[in-house]
Amino acid sequence: MTQFDVTVIGAGAAGLFCAAQAGQRGLKVLLLDHAVKVAEKIRISGGGRCNFTNVDCGPGHFLSANRDFCRSALARYSAADFVALVRRHGIAFHEKHRGQLFCDGSAEQIVAMLLDECRTGGVVHWQPCSVAEVRADAQGFLLASARGPVRSSQVVVATGGLSIPKIGATDFGHRLARQFGHRIIEPRPALVPQTFSADVWAPFAPLAGTSLEVAIETGGGKQRGHFVEDLLFTHRGLSGPAVLQASSYWRPGQPLQLDLATGRDLDALLRAAKSTSKRQMGNALGQWLPQRLADAWLVLHGMPADRPLPEWRDADLSRLAQSLARWSIVPNGTEGFHKAEVTAGGVDTRELDSRSLQSRRQTGLYFVGEVVDVTGWLGGYNFQWAWSSAMACAQALAST
């Protein structure tokens, strides 16, 4: 039977990076993954260009039941460290929006870089290869893999979250964690479009394709999310960065609070326009909102789009401005794991060591990446968590 220092289960972002780093430290590493294609999530990320990190990345950009947990790993392997690796591999990249770094070419370059790093580390890579069972005994771990039994002194679980099952996501990591006595923070879809019941959404469905910058808020207490980002109306509900970000904080039954005129005092603008212009309200509102939204909003609130501004009472102008600045709407759900970019929740960090990602319940067992209850905002933070947690783990693994 083959004997390894470390077996890494899951060859996605965190698993590839952890295996490569451990291998380069001289450890005998086996990396295995049940999917046919390696790192498919990296390949499809960032619209095919992989938003591989964010230059402004700190603990405040993550959700977790234990908010400080990610601090140590992020501090010890930062966005700048990963950028240096990307540069060493000659991959051209650019900053797009708020510190988000994307490949100029293709996400394939990041996959190729990680595979190259694994080759440098002499990593043995079995893929596709599933794992039926992981048992702990006095010598470490015994794995029942599709390519036969494997002995390993340490096991790293890097099997990701539940998002996008059609490209290989499973609950394997959560099940394995439970087997070793870990608690799981209830997994839920995050960075995901929100849906509404047919009757609530009927007036807005014709706005599908309309987008605008908004301020959005949801959640409560420490789990309150507030973002200023673009919103997109769809046939079934709301999407775009604003709603994806808010969805990570949203819990069933809670409203989304939106300011559709963010950055503007619409009440003052409408009063000023009333004193200087005879335009119809629909046209006036169209200066500050997408015209389709302005028209639909007036119909929805029983306000005449064709009434000239001077004929509006100040109180009605205020009512209109308020309705746009404080739109509160309750989703009936989300598009679910098949559309979610990430999974919030996962292995409870209170039972993991934040410096090494090692289980406090089973010596030699580690959890890295998205399987852990650390969820980043939209914008490259989730990959940075994959790299940082993988590096923290790789440095802690022992050669046996």
Ligand X SMILES: Cc1cc2nc3c(=O)[nH]c(=O)nc-3n(C[C@H](O)[C@H](O)[C@H](O)COP(=O)(O)OP(=O)(O)OC[C@H]3O[C@@H](n4cnc5c(N)ncnc54)[C@H](O)[C@@H]3O)c2cc1C
Point out which residues bind ligand X (CB under 6 A). Answer: 9-15, 33-35, 41, 44-46, 50-51, 130-131, 158-160, 163-164, 168-170, 172, 341-342, 369-371, 380-383, 386
To ligand X, the closest distance from the beta carbon of 120 in angstroms equals 19
To ligand X, the closest distance from the beta carbon of 100 in angstroms equals 8
Compute the half-sphere exposure of residue 212: CA atoms within 13 Å on the CB side of its CA: 22
392 strand-pairing partners: none
Closer to ligand X at the Cβ: 284 or 371? 371
To ligand X, the closest distance from the beta carbon of 36 in angstroms equals 9
To ligand X, the closest distance from the beta carbon of 208 in angstroms equals 21
Beta strands in 90-147 (DSSP E): 93-95, 100-103, 124-126, 131-137, 140-145
To ligand X, the closest distance from the beta carbon of 381 in angstroms equals 6
347 strand-pairing partners: 184, 372
Closer to ligand X at the Cβ: 6 or 13? 13
Closer to ligand X at the Cβ: 30 or 158? 158
The closest alpha carbon to 4, from 204, 163, 142, belongs to 142
Compute the half-sphere exposure of residue 185: CA atoms within 13 Å on the CB side of its CA: 22
Closer to ligand X at the Cβ: 12 or 237? 12
DSSP summary character for residue 349: G
Name 138's Cβ contacts closer than 8 Å, sequence gap at least 6.
Answer: none
Question: With 0-12 CB in 10 A as exposed, 13-18 as middle and 19+ as buried, what is 225?
Answer: middle
To ligand X, the closest distance from the beta carbon of 239 in angstroms equals 13
Q: Which residue is nearest to ligand X (CB)?
A: 12
d(CA 271, CA 184): 54
To ligand X, the closest distance from the beta carbon of 55 in angstroms equals 13
Phi-psi label, residue 41: left if phi above 0, alpha if psi -120 to 50, beta otherwise: alpha
Closer to ligand X at the Cβ: 140 or 161? 161
What is the per-residue burial (b if ≥16 Cβ within 10 Å, else e) of 96-127?
eeebbbbbeeebebbbebbbebbeebebbbbe
To ligand X, the closest distance from the beta carbon of 8 in angstroms equals 10
Closer to ligand X at the Cβ: 159 or 210? 159
To ligand X, the closest distance from the beta carbon of 114 in angstroms equals 10
Vertex 153, ends 149 and 157: CA angle to 5°? 80
Query: Can the peptide bond before residue 149 be classed as cis, meaning omega within 30 degrees of 0?
Result: no
Closer to ligand X at the Cβ: 166 or 313? 166
d(CA 280, CA 277): 9
Closer to ligand X at the Cβ: 204 or 381? 381
32 strand-pairing partners: 9, 126
d(CA 145, CA 159): 15
Closer to ligand X at the Cβ: 28 or 34? 34
Cα 137 to chain centroid, rounded: 36
